A and B are shown apart, each in its own frame.
Chain A
């Protein structure tokens, strides 16, 4: 049993939960995730470890509550318990000093990006962080990311905050300017966003890393459900990833497999107001 120590709402349907998990807090590195199961009978859901405090024995989870299971998780009150938290899983992010790095986050992907930005900043990189969302209500962690970034840019689709448009616009401008072009790009967000970023950086051959969120069951490489095509190889996101070379990932295949349970999810959620197809990991 893992005690919930805090639970705050960062944005619509987005919660930040601090959970007591001393062993995971000690072992965890940037880029890794945990498998969470709220209670007996519930789904196992992969959630990125947003942050950890080894001394306090806690991990921070950012949870987008858009499906029945994640909503039940975020409904857990402070002092309540999550039955199962297992990890840290996945490979840690390869952190080095590239020089200039662009970190691009979309929606809840920003929460996944946060520990990477932190680790990249600690390694001495000059970071431009670009965060995008549908509107200002979906822009999260700005206060946390700003001090870690040399440049901090926001885009919203409706123009309610920052530049109107998509994250690819400011990134494209950076790439076009030899003075500002990054040596590496990290992108985490919806699959179409990560695909667009990969296409943008491909021409210049800039190393681009994405963190993928396929459907998982065990998270330890046992079931093969999270397989994605990377180059000509089948990779398991849970053990070989979750981060991969964006220029090799088959994003269309990933997108398609993410819809595997759309119908089942819709049926299950028919009784609720939720209209979203599947439980989005992290």
Chain B
């Protein structure tokens, strides 16, 4: 190890604190909330890593980043090497450093967390990735292997597709990504707001892939513009990663009132189309002073914090369980609270109520209490009789979840699906069609960016093996 420092001194260093924009300032703009570590903070945080033999953190990472190695390089102030290690394992490190739930993955397994605070692996990942973006001339070049002459089509330019594309390009395969929307990034761009993930971060990660020779074709909807069978004919292998883009409806009265959005629509308008953020924006969005968001996941937090930034005085989370049961990241909940978001817990929506002319005026709710645990292990909410009340709201956003979009699968009759419409894969990520692999939310249902990336990485390895076998 190159950073000579005694174990005692190492243990004495306190975990770095992320600098943030002040809540009153940021809650009215779309600037990134987390400002990143300073070089001194990063160096000091890197030196907190014990470089332990167990390397538990690596096992906690869905893409298996060589965490101790990149941190060691950082601790030795060798940023080019740190970036090389990190980018060798992770196609989207600047994204992961911002949106991964490290507290339940790598950092949850860090030995320093046993008797104190885990190493801030996520902060360090972001630091190194951002350094790499701003210092392209200092990056160490990996040898790109000779072209294999094999081609792979990747369906969807989200986290799974981008990861697979990067991995496959590094193996010398010719990769083309087909994206249905007009821009890259998938959910990273249409779903995650700029205050968590600035668009230039996505652009810079995509630029790295383009630099590896990956081709990206936007405006191509597989299942409509081209079919899976056409891709199978034209490419040596196919990876389907088109996401879980189908909103789950609430199926309560009033859902079609004006001012009711599915989270996907609300976020797509604001994030992808920039509605409500520029005076001259062509895409409109309904802004109201009272906005109720139904759900307790990260998407719900993204919606409610976005509504607040669009000017809502009362931006509310309505969730049928308690705060402890919320699937959202702790950091998102904390940030939302700081920004003035109201948390209305143990409350289930019964109906959306409206005015005579069809506009949302409120949410009819019912109080809940927690009963015994359900299948998910979380305590099941039960209604309290006679507890109905009405919450005033001019906009209601449904953020209860998404499921598999059937657009592609409906046109590929040989593709085996489960009862929820998700693509069925084997241990190698291969579907029922030989040479066609799948991963990410179209396989899992709505999950996280990093799990999708893990799928992309595993599928890329399996595709690489498949192509080798095919060549023999």
Whole-angstrom distance between the Cβ of A277 and the nearest chain B Cβ: 11
A23 to chain B, nearest CB (A): 5
Complex Cα spacing A5 to B180, Å: 24
> Once the chains bind, are A43 and B273 in contact (CB under 8 Å)?
yes
Q: Does B38 count as interface, using CB distance less than 8 angstroms?
A: no
Prevailing SS type, chain A contact patch: mixed
**Docked pose: A158 CA to B377 CA in angstroms:** 68
Select B224's contact among A84, A89, A225, A257, beta carbons within 8 Å. A89
State whether the Cβ of B342 lies closer than 8 Å to any Cβ in chain A: no
A259 vs B257: C-alpha distance when bound (angstroms): 11
Q: How far is the CA of A68 from the CA of B283 in the complex (A)?
A: 11
Whether B269 contacts A217 by the Cβ 8 Å rule is: yes
The answer to whether B284 and A261 have CB atoms under 8 Å apart is: yes
Measured in the bound complex, the distance between the Cα atoms of B223 and A89 in whole Å is 10
Contact A221 B182 (CB under 8 A): no
Residue contact A256 to B358, C-beta cutoff 8 Å: yes
A217's contact among B180, B221, B268, B280, by CB below 8 Å, is which? B268
- Evaluate contact between A23 and B247: CB separation under 8 angstroms: no
The reply to whether A223 and B265 contact each other, CB–CB distance below 8 Å, is: yes
Is B219 engaged at the interface, CB distance under 8 Å to the other chain?
yes
A212: interface (CB < 8 Å): no
Q: For B285, what are the chain A residues with a Cβ–Cβ distance below 8 Å? A: 264
In the complex, the 4 A-B pairs of residues with the closest C-beta atoms, listed nearest first: A264-B284, A222-B245, A223-B265, A224-B262
Contacts of B358 in A (CB 8 A): 256-257, 259
A259-B225 CB under 8 A given contacts A220-B180, A222-B246, A265-B284: no
Contact A257 B256 (CB under 8 A): yes
Digitize A204-220: 1 where CB-to-B-CB distance is under 8 Å, 0 elsewhere.
00000000000001101
Known: A88-B224, A221-B245, A224-B249. A260 touches B258 (CB 8 A): yes
> How far in angstroms is the closest Cβ of chain B from A113?
22
For B273-290 the 0/1 string (1 means CB < 8 A from A) is 110001011111110000
* A268 to B218 alpha-carbon distance, docked (Å): 29
Q: Measured between C-beta atoms, what is the minimum distance from A109 to chain B in Å?
A: 23
| Chain B residues, CB < 8 A from A220 | 180, 221, 224, 245, 405, 407
B208 within 8 A of A: no
* B225 and A23 contact, CB distance less than 8 A: yes
A87 contacts B by Cβ under 8 Å: yes
Among the listed B181, B282, B286, which residue makes an inter-chain contact with A218, where contact means beta carbons less than 8 Å apart? B181
Check if A37 sits within 8 Å of B286, measured CB to CB. Answer: no
Using A23-B225, A234-B255 as known contacts, say yes or no to A86 and B246 having CB atoms under 8 A apart.
no
* Interchain CB contact (< 8 A) of A87 among B181, B221, B268, B281: B221
The answer to the question of B220 belonging to the interface, with a C-beta cut-off of 8 Å to chain A, is: yes
List, in ascending order, chain A residues with CB within 8 A of B274's CB: 41
Contacts of A104 in B (CB 8 A): none
- Is B406 among interface residues, defined by CB-CB distance under 8 A? yes
Residue contact A85 to B219, C-beta cutoff 8 Å? yes
Cα–Cα, bound, A256→B354 (Å)? 12
Residue B226 CB within 8 A of the other chain: yes
Q: How far is the CB of B353 from chain A (nearest CB, A)?
A: 15
Q: Please determine whether A86 and B220 come into contact, CB atoms closer than 8 angstroms.
A: yes
Q: Which chain B residues lie closer than 8 Å to A221 at the CB level?
A: 245-246, 405-407
B218 CB, nearest partner CB in chain A, Å: 7
User: Is B273 a contact partner of A44 (Cβ separation < 8 A)?
Assistant: yes
CB-defined contacts of B27 to chain A, threshold 8 Å: none
> In the docked arrangement, what's the CA distance between A224 and B285, Å?
15
Question: Which residues of chain B are near A247, meaning CB under 8 Å?
Answer: none
Which A residues lie within 8 Å of B180 (CB)?
Answer: 86, 218, 220
Q: B residues 236-259 with Cβ under 8 Å of A?
A: 245-247, 249, 251, 255-256, 258-259
Say yes or no: A222-B264 contact (C-beta < 8 A), given A41-B274, A86-B220, A259-B258.
yes
Chain B's closest residue to A86 (CB) is B219
Bound Cα distance from A257 to B407, whole angstroms: 24
Find chain A residues with CB under 8 A from B247 CB: 222-224
Query: Using a CB–CB distance below 8 Å, which chain B residues touch chain A?
Result: 180-182, 190, 218-221, 224-226, 245-247, 249, 251, 255-256, 258-259, 261-262, 264-265, 268-269, 273-274, 278, 280-286, 357-358, 405-407
Q: Are A222 and B225 in contact (CB under 8 A)?
A: no
Task: Give min CB distance, A8 to chain B, whole Å.
Answer: 25
A27: contacting residue among B225, B249, B264, B273, CB under 8 A: B225
Among B182, B268, B285, the one with the most A-chain Cβ atoms within 10 Å of its Cβ is B182
Return the contact of A239 from the options B218, B225, B264, B407 (Cβ within 8 A).
B407
Residue of A nearest to B279 (CB): A268
Q: From residue A39, how far is it (CB to closest CB) to chain B in Å?
A: 10
Q: Tell whether, in the assembled complex, residue B258 and residue A37 are in contact, meaning their CB atoms are under 8 Å apart.
A: no
Q: Find out whether the CB atom of B258 lies under 8 angstroms from the CB atom of A257.
A: yes
A137: CB under 8 A from chain B? no
- The answer to whether the Cβ of A163 comes within 8 Å of any Cβ in the partner chain is no
Q: Answer yes or no: A231 CB below 8 A from chain B CBs.
A: no
With A217-B273, A220-B245, A261-B286 in contact, is A256–B225 under 8 Å at CB? no
Q: How far is the CB of B128 from chain A (nearest CB, A)?
A: 31
Interface presence of A253 (CB below 8 A):
yes
* Interchain CB contact under 8 A, B268 and A86: no
Please report the C-alpha to C-alpha distance between residue A166 and residue B262 in the assembled complex, in whole angstroms. 38
Complex-state Cα separation, A15 to B218, whole angstroms: 26
A191 at the interface (CB under 8 A from B): no
Which residue of chain A has its CB nearest to the CB of B398?
A224
B residues in contact with A122, CB < 8 Å: none
Residue of A68, A83, A87, A222 contacting most chain B CB atoms (<10 Å): A222
Query: Can you list 19 residue pairs at the A/B interface with Cβ under 8 Å?
Result: A23-B220, A23-B226, A41-B281, A43-B283, A86-B181, A86-B225, A88-B224, A89-B221, A217-B268, A218-B181, A218-B245, A220-B245, A224-B265, A227-B256, A234-B249, A239-B407, A256-B357, A257-B258, A259-B358
Measured CA separation A45–B254 after assembly (Å): 26
Using Cβ atoms and an 8 Å threshold, which residues of chain B touch A27?
224-226
B406 to A84, Cβ gap below 8 A? no
Looking across the interface, which residue of chain A has its beta carbon closest to that of B278? A41
Inter-chain CA distance A37–B180, complex, in Å, is 13
Query: Using Cβ atoms and an 8 Å threshold, which residues of chain A touch B251?
Result: 234
A253 interface neighbour in B256, B261, B282, Cβ under 8 Å: B256
Find chain A residues with CB under 8 A from B268 CB: 217-218, 222-223
Q: How far is the CA of A43 from the CA of B251 in the complex (A)?
A: 29
Chain B residue with Cβ nearest A1: B219
Given the complex of chains A and B, what is the CA–CA distance between A19 and B384 in angstroms?
Answer: 59
Check A268 against B284 for contact (C-beta < 8 Å): yes
State the Cβ distance, A278 to closest chain B Cβ, in Å.
9
Q: Is the CB of B245 within 8 A of A229?
A: no
Other-chain residue from A43, A225, A260 in contact with B282 (beta carbon distance below 8 A): A43
